[in-house]
Amino acid sequence: MTDSLDALKAKLQQFVDDRDWSRFHSPKNLAMAMIVEAAELVEHFQWDTEVESRQLTAEKRLQVSHELADTFVYLLRLSQVLDIDLIAAANEKIALNGEKYPVEKARGKNNKYTDYQ
């Protein structure tokens, strides 16, 4: 069984190589491209209430899935060109966050990112 992320990264590398786009894919440029895609996702929710953002129509959900995918693709490209293992980095960061926000203190609090930092 092939790991889903490895298969996707291989496909992405092929896509970029076919178009000779590596020269444009500096980390600086890819970080810009990634935040632009993240903003297209934010745009879908900017005038929604939180409740509305949880109840998407099928059409909006499809558009949102495309923006998520675009952000994901640039995130993967960044991890590729920087040779960073994304899964390992996420596991490491989640462990750090677990220490920063211990269950007994963080439970049910939305002020976690200001009071605890």
Closest CA to 48 of 67, 64, 37, 66: 64
CB atoms within 10 A of CB 19: 9
Query: Residue 49, interface with a second copy (CB under 8 A)?
Result: yes
Judge contact between 80 and 16, C-beta under 8 A: no
Which of 10, 48, 100, 116: binder of a second copy (CB under 8 A)? 48
Query: Residue 41, interface with a second copy (CB under 8 A)?
Result: yes
Query: Residue 57, interface with a second copy (CB under 8 A)?
Result: no
Tell me how far, at minimum, the Cβ of 54 lies from a second copy, in Å. 6
CA gap 106, 112 in Å, rounded: 6
Query: Residue 80, interface with a second copy (CB under 8 A)?
Result: no
Residue corresponding to tokens 């605890």: 116
Report how many residues bind a second copy under the rule CB under 8 A. 79
Which of 10, 11, 100, 116: binder of a second copy (CB under 8 A)? 11
CA gap 44, 29 in Å, rounded: 24
**Hey, what are 49's tokens?**
């209430």
Query: Residue 16, interface with a second copy (CB under 8 A)?
Result: no
Looking only at residues 91 through 110 of this chain, which bind a second copy when binding is defined by CB under 8 A? 91-94, 96-98, 101, 103, 106-108, 110
